Structure 1
Amino acid sequence: MTPTTSNPAFRYPQKTLDRASRAVRCAPFRLKFYVIMLDHSVSLSAVAGIAGIRNQYSKRNLSELVADGDLLWLIQVGLLRREVDGQGLTDSFRLTPLGRQLVGQWQSVGGFGKANLGDRLLNAMNRWLRLPF
């Protein structure tokens, strides 16, 4: 399996795909951030602060706390996972199979679009209130 292909034998529920896509549109990260993770893990230090802008991973300067919170939300919706080494968890992140599938789709259409007000409201309800939307 190549990094940009997904397993066609497994289909995610549409609700899962919609929630994950919405979370990405609302997150402060650029497509390049997700594309890099097709082949490599990305550390928190490469995303936070001025490094995130320099690496073209984020749309704005993010504090480490804000970046970590957004990355953890993407873990909860199933797009990312923490990288593990021989010592345990690291501060790096990788794509899950769901993330690989969606990034492959976004690459083929040139991006994931922008979040509208409805996206932001539903994402906030999912993230902060844990309502099942």
Structure 2
Amino acid sequence: MGQERGEKALKSSIQTDRQEQDQHRSHQQMTIEFDPKSVRRAERAIRCGPFTPKLFCQLSFRGVGLSEITGNEGVSNAYTKKFMGLIPGETALLWLVNVGVLRREVDGQGITDSFRLTPMGFYITQQQWQDLEAYPEPSLGDRLQNFLAQWQPTRFI
């Protein structure tokens, strides 16, 4: 009888610890604050990029391979606005990695050709812009700032 009470108390304690950990994790996820300049730069990079909201939606659930994003498959998957070759596609994706929207997936053997959203990328595409069919059109100034930032990565505008 005393042993049963001890086991129940231990199970209750473990369950309480797990609940507290879950609450702590969810609180941590809700309290991530991003630098406003970084968010603006990332938003601008997304708006100026060749990718559709459908791609970012998929990236929030799973890693998407480069071959699924570029070429004819990228167009048929509706991940890109128009046909993109492999090198321009990877360059555009790597720019989104540099500004903090995406990350490359890693497996047991190293880096793969798949990409996923970072927490900031998720925040922008799935929370701020979740109800949009298409992302806001970038202005000429946005396009110029994005272009200059790509060519001067040490000095983000």
Is the shorter-chain TM-score for this pair beyond 0.5, marking a shared fold? yes
Max radius of gyration: which structure?
Answer: 2
Give unmatched runs, 5+ long, in structure 2. 1-21, 23-27
Identity of aligned residues (%): 40
Q: Within 1, Cα distance between the matches of 2:113 and 2:68?
A: 10
Which one of the candidate residues 62, 74, 78 is aligned to 2:100? 78
How far does the alpha carbon of each residue in 1:11-70 deviate from its partner, in whole angstroms, 9 at most, with x for none? 101101100000000100000000011111110000111111100000010010000000
Equivalent pairs, count: 129
Q: Does 1:38 align with 2:60?
A: yes
Q: Within 2, Cα distance between the matches of 1:72 and 1:110?
A: 24
- Point out 4+ residue stretches in structure 1 off by more than 6 angstroms: none
Q: Within 1, Cα distance between the matches of 2:131 and 2:75?
A: 24
Give unmatched runs, 5+ long, in structure 1. none
Structure with a larger share of its residues in helix:
2
More contact order relative to length (CA 8 Å, sep ≥ 6): 1
CA root-mean-square deviation: 1.6
Q: 1:55 to 1:109 in 2, by over 3 A?
A: closer
Q: Does 1:132 align with 2:147?
A: no
Q: Does 1:120 align with 2:143?
A: yes
Q: Within 1, Cα distance between the matches of 2:107 and 2:152?
A: 33
Equivalent residue number for residue 107 of structure 1: 130
Q: Within 1, Cα distance between the matches of 2:63 and 2:76?
A: 17
Which one of the candidate residues 17, 25, 37 is aligned to 2:47? 25
